[in-house]
Each structure stands twice: as C-alpha cells, then as structure tokens.
Amino acid sequence: MRLTPSLLQEHLKKSLAPFYLLYGQETFLIEESAKLIRQHLPEYEIHQASLSLETDLEELRFILDQPSLFAATLLLDCRLVKLSPGSSQIFTEILQTNYPHAYFLIQAGQLSRQQQQAPWFKLIEQKGIVIPHWGLNSAQFNRWINERATKLGLVLSPVLRQNLLAKTQGNCLAGAQELDILRLNATTNYISEQSQFEVSELCEAVLSKNSKSVVKIISYLAQNEAPQLVIWALHQTLNILLRGSSGTADIAKLLQKAGIRSQMQTLYHQVLQTPLCFCCTQLLSYLSQADNQVKSGDVTKAWQTVLNICLQMTGHNFLSALY
C-alpha cells in the first residue's frame, strides 16, 4: 500500500506493517518518517544493513534466521542504493519469507520507474507500506512550517513567519533547525546576559544527565565561546567514557592522566558504573561532523549538532528535553 508522509502517523496508531519503504529526494522528511516508525515499534533489537551487496544480504538472511537474545522484535534498518541482479534476487527471496519477529525499515533515494516495477518493490507494496517523499512546493512548505511550529508550541508572528520562509526557501532541514532555535530561545527565556557558564560546566551537566542545564549552558556558550573549544571538551569526555567502559582501563589513572578534577572524577565513576545509554563511537563521529560544519562556515548547524550530541548523552532526545 502507498501512503503520503502526512498519513503515516494515523496509520501507525492503527497497525504496524512488516515492511516500510521510504524513498524520494527529501532526505530530512524520510528521516522524520523513520523516527516516527521507530517510536511506534515495541521494544526491539536493531540491526543496520546495506542492501547493495550480495554478501550484505546473505548476512541479513542469516540474522533473520537466528532468534534474538535481547528482544522479541528485530528491526532491520536498511539503506538501499542500487541492487544488482543477484542482490535483487536475494532481496526478493527474503521479502517472500515470513519473519513474524522482524520489521524492515528501508530508506532509499529516488527510485526509477524500472526499480518500481521490480519484484522486490511490488512485494513491499503488497505486504507493507511504500511512502514517497518529494520536495514541498511553496504552499506545502508554508503549511509544513505552521504545523511544525504548532507541535513545538511556537506562535509565529506574520513577519517572523515570512522571514523564516524567505530564509529557508523550501529546505525542510533548514526550516526545522530555525524552528528548533526559536524554541530553544523561547524555552530558555533568552538567557540573561548576567548568566555565565564555562565549558567544564557543560561536561558536568552532561555527565549528571541534566538536560535542562545542557540547553541553558549551550545557549550561553554559543554566544560567548568558540565551538571548537566545546567540541574538544566533549571529544575528551567521550574518549574517557569509551576507554573507561571497555573494562580493561584503570579508570583512576585514566582520569588523573586526563587532568580531570576530583569532583568531575566522581561523576565519571558514577556514569561508568552503569551501562552507557549512548554509543560513544557514534557520537564521536557526530562530533567530527560538527567540526566539519565549523570549518565549512556553518557555525549555527555545528552548535545544533553539539546540542543534539549532549542531549543524547543525557538520555533525552532534542524535543523531550525542551518541555
């Protein structure tokens, strides 16, 4: 069955399909739909896979045939670029098999008419949900901005809305970021100029899982500190957590060598006594993205990336930390 992105929420309230194919040119909207689907799944074990190579698909088939040790449900989060004839055949065989414990979430770019006539596409369309995501025209983008602002609890004046529309010009990612910044400013009440924070306080708030302090501190640092300094401090924090969680490092020596003060050492010990709620390696990769964003001149986007990283380290997503 085919759906539009706007109908996905209503569909998910009623039922879950075994296959979801999200494709098109608007990658931000595709990821938004993917997040929505993940939120409606029961507790699951996730496996990320590429559908381009036959070896990847054979590995995927092996995983599907094994019972999960950690969760009753398996989510196959797949990326589809281009299928060779051999890969297409294997993928079709996988789709034809009944795996009641598994859900497929497949993301792709634009698909040609020939690809949409392929057996694997027809199977997904028959047994699951296919949702194309195209760029929004002016009227659609205006409506999308209004709906997203309402969800964030924002009231946009006509002048502010017009400026935002002119600035983002149909770019959903840019529009979402501008609305997030507006929401951030509204939530923190445009932090008074008397409030002053240091980078070390951000790391302390992150380790303490204090998401509200994280939002407030980053709002201040974004106006008063170079982003490279914050990126470096978070990089050091994540590296210490990564090494400390390996089980082989002497944590006391590790903290001492890194020059961590005693109060912060206690926080590190507390965090490392329980399983981390985030993947250090993945967040280090995101920090590299933030660094590249600074180097390319997109400082606002870099601060947004830093904020998202910090909130993930506190165990909250971006929106939930604002309420």
CATH class of 5-133: alpha beta
Helix (H, G, I), strand (E, B) or coil at 56: helix
Give the pLDDT of residue 194. Answer: 40
The answer on pLDDT for 262 being more than 70 is: yes
Is the confidence at residue 323, as pLDDT, over 80? Answer: no
Count of alpha carbons within 13 Å of 214, Cβ hemisphere only?
28
Mean predicted confidence (pLDDT) in 96-109: 91
Q: Indicate whether 310 pLDDT > 60.
A: yes
Most confident of the ranges 70-84, 167-181, 184-198? 167-181
Q: Is the pTM of this model over 0.85?
A: no
**Using an 8 Å Cβ cutoff, are 197 and 220 in contact?**
yes
Q: Which of 29-43, 218-232, 248-262 has the lowest mean pLDDT?
A: 248-262
| Structural contact between residues 65 and 40, judged by C-beta atoms closer than 8 angstroms | no
Start-end of H helices in 136-198: 138-151, 158-168, 172-187
Task: Provide mean pLDDT across the span 311-320.
Answer: 69
The beta strand positions in 281-320, using DSSP E, are none
The structural domains of the chain, with segments of one domain joined by +, span: 5-133, 138-187, 199-322
How do residues 114-131 score in pLDDT, each as one tens digit? Answer: 999 999 999 999 999 999
Kindly tell me if the per-residue pLDDT of 59 is higher than 50.
yes
CATH of domain 199-322: 1.20.272
Residues pairing with 44 in the sheet: 73
What pLDDT sits at residue 85?
87
Handedness of CA 70, 72, 78, 84 (dihedral sign): positive
**Residue whose pair of structure tokens reads 């010990």 in the numeric block:** 269
pLDDT at residue number 18: 94
Give the percent of the chain with pLDDT over 70. Answer: 91
Q: 5-133 and 199-322: same fold?
A: no
User: What pLDDT is attached to residue 321?
Assistant: 38
